[in-house]
Every structure is written in C-alpha cells, then in structure tokens.
Amino acid sequence: MRSAEDLADLVHSYNPKSNRAMIIAAYHYGQKKHEGQFRKSGEPYFSHPIAVAEILAEQNLDDATIITALLHDTIEDTASTKQDVADLFSPEIADLVDGVTKLTNMQLSSAETKEAENIRKLFLAIAKDIRVILVKLADRLHNMKTIKSMKPEKQAQKARETMDIFAPLAGRMGMQSMREELEDLSFKVLNPEARASLIRRFVNLQRESGDVIERITGDMNLELGKANIQADVFGRAKKPFSAWRKMQEKELTFSRLSDVYGFRIICETEADCYRILGVIHQRWRAVPGRFKDYISQPKTNGYRSIHTTVSGRDGKRVEVQIRTREMHEVAESGVAAHWSYRDGVRSQNRFSVDPVQWITKLIDQFDAESDHEAFLEAVKLEMYADQVFCFSPKGDVLKFPKGATPIDFAYAIHTRIGNGCVGAKVDGLRVPLWTRLRNGQSVDIITAQGQVPQATWLEMAATGKAKTAIRRALRAADRSRHIVMGTELLRASFDHYDKKMTDKMLDTAAKKLRIDSSQELLAQLGSAELAPRDVIKILFPDIVGEQQAEVDQKRAVIGIGPDQVIDRRPCCEPLPGERIVGIATKGKGVAIHAINCDSLLRFEDRPELWIDLHWHAGKHAAIYPVTLEVTISNDAGVLGRVCTLIGELGANISDLTFVDRKPDFYKIHVAVDLSDVEHLLKVETRLEAENEVASIRRLRRSSE
C-alpha cells in the first residue's frame, strides 16, 4: 500500500505545483475515517481509495481529482459529511465526492429500479463535472481487479453492469485503454472458459509461428529507418474479449480470424503519419476496404489515427495504427487528457474533446422521449458506435455509427427530411433505404409530400436520433387513428344507453379516470387500453352497476358495543368508505367523526375517549345526508334537471337552499342522502359532466 508521501511524490512528478500538504492531509483523513473497515478480501478498506488515486495519478490528473479519489467513500461509508469535506478541503472537492457517492448509490442495472432514469442521472452528474466519472471509472476498474473476493452472483452482476455501461462509456469518452481493461476483466467473470480457450489459442499460435510481433516490429523499424522517419513501433496481440467479440459478430472460428496482431506507430507530426502510411503500403500489400483516416475525419470523442490492414509475413493480416504523440495521448486517455497536468499547468492537448455536448444531447433526447426503454437503447447505440463519414450534396461531412443507412442520413439533416424520405442516391446511384453506408460516400435524399415514416424503418435505422423521430411519428399517426376509432366506439356506447355524448362529459370522465385529456381518453379507447364500458360506468354508474345486498344498519359500524348508540356528527358528515374514529360521549353514546375532522383537535389530550371504528365493507342504504354546494346556470329547467339526475342515481334530496342568486348563475346547497363515499363520487361525477353545472363540491364545517 503506497504511503501518503509516495502518492504526493507521484503527483508532484507531473505537477510540481501540486498542493502536497493537502494530498497528504486527505490521505490521513481518509485513512482515519476508514480505520477498522476491511474489504471482502480482508485488506484494510483504505487500500482501495489509494489504488483509485494511483490509477488517476497515472493519467496526470489534477489535485482535486486525486483528493476526491482518496475521499470518494468517506461520505457513504463513514460518519463524514459533505460539509466536513468542504470545511477541511474545499467546496469543489466536496461536490466531487458527493457526486461520486451519488453515482455509487445508483443501482444502474438493478431489476428493481428504472434503469433508463438512473442512466439519465448518471449523465446529469457527468455533465456537471466530468471528473466525477473519471473517479467512478477508476473506482470500478480497481473493484473489477479485486472482484474475486465477492460472491459469484455479485461478481456476475458487477461484470454485466461494467460490460453494458462503464466499459462502453469509457470508450465513448475516448479512454480506450481503460475500456479494454474493463471489458477483459468483465469477460473473465462472465465467460471464463471462452477467455481461457482464447488465451491458449494465442499461446499455441505464438508457438507455431514464433515471435511474429518482434519480427514485424523489426521489419517496420527497418523500413522507417530507410525513409529517415523517427517513430516508435509497438505491437501486440488482440485482447481476448476483442477477439471474442469479432468472432461472434462475424461468425468466425479462431483459425479464420484475421488481423490477430495489431501495431501502433507513434510519430511527431501529421505529415509523418502520411509518410509512414506510404512506407507501409509500399512494403506490404494493403487489404482493400480496411483503410480509415480518422485524422482528416476525427471521431466525436476526439480520436485521431490512420488505420490500415496489410498482409504481413506469411500472408498474415495485421492492423496498423499511425498517429502522433498528441493523438496517442488522447487515444489512450480520452477525456482524461483534457484534465491532465504537465509541469504544474493543465495540459493543452489540441485534440482532446470534452464530451459534455454529447451527454447534454442525450439528456435532451431522454426528456423528449416518452418511451424510456427506447432512450436506453439509443444510449447504448451511441456508446457502442463506431463511425463512418458521408458527404451531403453540398459537401458537408456527417458522422454516423457503423451500420447507418440513408434513413439515418435523412434524419441527421432534419426531422422533416427524414419523415418525408422516399428514396436515396448514394454516389449518384439509386439504392434501397436499407443500404448500409460506407466511409466517403455521397448521399442525396429524395423526399415527397405526403410520405410518412414506416414501422419497418425502425429496423433500418442505426442512430438514436432517427429511431426516436420515427417512433414519435408512428405514435402520432397511431394516435390519430385511435382517436377516430375511440370516438366511434364511445358514441356507439352512448347511443346504446340512450345518452348524448358531450365534450364536458369526456373531460369529466378523463379527470375521474386520471387521464391527461379527453383526446388521450379517446386514444386509449381506440387502442383497446380502455373499454367504453369503463367510461359509461364512471359517468352513469346507475345503469351499469352491480347489485349487492344491503348491510344491516345495526351492524353498519364495526367496533360499537351492542348497547352503544352511534351519533354521526354533522361537522364532517362521515360516509361509509371513509376512515372514521369514535369519541365516547356521556352515557352510552359514541360520536362518529371522519379521521381528518377538525373537531378531533379538541380531544387530543383525552386519548381515553377515542374508539377505533370502521365501516362495514358491504353495501349501505342511502340514509346518510351530505351537503353539496352546486353552482348552476340560471336557465329554465336546469334546477329540475339537476334534481332529476340526483334521483336517477338513487339519492334522495332532503333539503335545498338557495345561497346566492345571480342573473346568470345560482349557487345552491343540496342535502342529499347517500349510501357511501362511492355513491358521493358518482353523484359529483354525473353532475360535473353536465354543461349547465359550473362547479360542485362537498361542504364540511370546520368544527362543531
């Protein structure tokens, strides 16, 4: 375990202006807070934050990131608080530690949580400060290196999460070295037999063919020397998971796997890159279709390099990557290069890219996408994307993931162009819309008025943007058809019961069914998510209700003794179905109140008077008066209609009082005898659906 002084020396080696004292103080603070805590392996827990800090120090990151690594588990696992960290170190470090803690607490791949929403929270945290994810990636890398001490099921869960989320995220941020290591560690857990088999095959291949890497490296150095080009050549075999993925994608056996070996040539200038390319192609035969120039057309994560595949010794294919030292730094460290320090100042690598713009775009896409599973699919498409570059007729360059089609190209220009796409020309020739685009092709989209997206386009599209736009258009088209269908179905149901359908009734039914609008209600009817009977029942419960035997009124309230007398209080007029409580009164009486009645405040200090009661669950007779305040239009026949509707619902009007008369509206108090709270809801709903009823509410006195 590295000491505080050794860690401070490591940071000082690339950043002489680092705050050595603060790094040592953070080390000792974290060590003290984690004292007595141990990892599953039995090691002191603080060995983990130190290892995370070392991983980040190897990438030359700033003091705040290193200190965050040392403290990243203090808020979660110790008595330390965010304010403590802010007071002892800085608000910046406290925010970073808090951000890492929140990411740790997200169960990103848990079946019990909404994965898409948690991914969104992950991106929000990254967008706030990119260093949060750098610490989290280093944390995950060390945890994967020491995962053997976990239970097998926990190992598998962490490995899947790493493979699905953290490894591709590291790759999308340009951190290829970390991505490969995370993938290989996850592969070792998820499919150890396949990994072991691949390693044995690599060993056998090396035994059969000798040290191919050393021989080809020597040949390349010789050719570069002849051309008087200064460069470093590095060779290696493919990583086990990289080979496995290619075998699965291409359905190849190991023996048919080409370019098992890869070489990187690191030089000083861009001009040298192209000179080296010429040397390589002069000496070895280039494999057609395997050349990519990411220097003239960089990836969105800042990656720049020339890729070519050539036939090397004995006809073996090898991939060659050519890049400058600056490009190599970004290729290995990605966004970390944006935050790295050299000689006490932020390293100004002109090729590093801050991915916040990409992350912000994904967050906006989430907010616009109602189907969060579709968002999750789009995120994974974006993170795994390998890119191709195509030209518009005007010469603009557009970037797409591998496998993109003219459909993706159309939506990349504009959603309107995508929706109206009927065909495409690639390099001047008409092609089907499912054609996969290749690097350097020129694409011209053909549109027509009246064209709408087709469901089959979802299978053709490869970009999240195109898929989201297609789904939105399909939903809009389906919604229009469903609304028409729903309207006809509901009108037929109204006619069946000899009722007239009005907009007010639809609005009322939507409100009672907790549906956003009457249009959405009709759409749900048309898509069979809702039945017309459900709407009729909520508006006219009397004509579709079920018969049920009435409760014996002597047993209406449960919890009352045989000789006790109940008194339903007028202050709250409790109804069967509502929560109630009894208050013992003089003699053998029990006053029944609704549980939220203000009158109960007077008995807070008299717990001996309280009696636990509840209503019988059966159907009650309509004998419980409730006062309603109804505002109706001052037109002939309206009051009679209101009274008739109440009667049709099986409720009796025991009193009616005019409380306010205006030229256009009347406000009346109606005492109605009801059976239960559901009966009340039916009366309120039915009256509210009438055009002549402006408002209706239940009246309750504040106290007795």
List, in order of start, the domains of the chain with CATH numbers.
4-190 (1.10.3210.10), 209-346 (3.30.460.10), 473-544 (no CATH), 553-615 (no CATH), 624-698 (3.30.70.260)
Contact between 551 and 529 (Cβ < 8 Å): no
Residue 661 or residue 138, greater confidence: 138
DSSP for 451-516 reads ----TTHHHH--SHHHHHHHHHHHHHHHHHHHHHHHHHHHHHHHHHTT----HHHHHHHHHHTT-S
Report the run of H or E that residue 419 belongs to, with start and end.
helix 415-419
Which CA distances in Å does 620 have to 593, 617, 673, 674? 18, 9, 11, 9
Report the alpha-carbon distance of residue 526 to residue 529 in Å, rounded.
8
Instruction: List phi, psi (to 5°) of 611.
Output: -125, 130
Kindly tell me if the per-residue pLDDT of 259 is higher than 80: no
Say whether 293 is catalytic: no
Say what the alpha-carbon torsion angle 628, 630, 635, 641 is, to the nearest 10 degrees.
-40
Report the alpha-carbon distance of residue 129 to residue 683 in Å, rounded.
56
Q: Helices 115-128 and 91-105 sit at what angle, rounded to 10 degrees?
A: 160
Report the alpha-carbon distance of residue 405 to residue 418 in Å, rounded.
12
Say whether 76 is catalytic: yes
Report the alpha-carbon distance of residue 640 to residue 650 in Å, rounded.
16
Which CA distances in Å does 326 have to 175, 203, 304, 356, 534? 14, 33, 9, 21, 67
Say what the alpha-carbon torsion angle 461, 463, 467, 473 is, to the nearest 10 degrees.
-100
What is the structure's pLDDT at 278?
Answer: 94
Report the alpha-carbon distance of residue 664 to residue 680 in Å, rounded.
27
DSSP for 171-215 reads HHTT-HHHHHHHHHHHHHHH-HHHHHHHHHHHHHHHHHH--HHHH
Report the alpha-carbon distance of residue 599 to residue 77 in Å, rounded.
48
The pLDDT tens digits of the residues spanning 171-215 come to 777 788 888 899 999 999 999 988 888 888 888 877 766 677 888
Report the alpha-carbon distance of residue 594 to residue 161 in Å, rounded.
50
Q: Check 76, 92, 598, 692 and give the catalytic one.
A: 76
pLDDT (mean) for 322-347: 74
Report the chain's mean pLDDT, rounded to a whole number. 83
DSSP three-state, residue 426? strand
- Nearest Cα neighbor of 478 from 424, 529, 435 is 529
Residue 205 or residue 270, greater confidence: 270
Q: Check 9, 43, 62, 77 and give the catalytic one.
A: 77
The pLDDT tens digits of the residues spanning 561-614 come to 777 888 888 889 999 888 899 998 887 788 999 988 888 888 888 888 888 888
Contact between 68 and 97 (Cβ < 8 Å): yes
Residue 198 CB coordination number (10 Å):
23
Kindly tell me if the per-residue pLDDT of 531 is higher than 90: no
What is the percentage of the chain residues whose pLDDT exceeds 70? Answer: 84
210 class by beta-carbon count within 10 Å (0-12 exposed, 13-18 middle, 19+ buried): exposed
The DSSP call for residue 656 is E
Give the side-chain half-sphere CA count within 13 A for 114.
9
The pLDDT tens digits of the residues spanning 469-512 come to 888 888 788 788 888 888 888 887 887 777 888 888 898 888 88
Give 374's pLDDT tier (boundaries 50, 70, 90): low
**Sheet with 421-426: strands ordered across:** 429-431, 421-426, 443-447
pLDDT (mean) for 19-39: 93
DSSP three-state, residue 17? coil
pLDDT (mean) for 90-104: 87
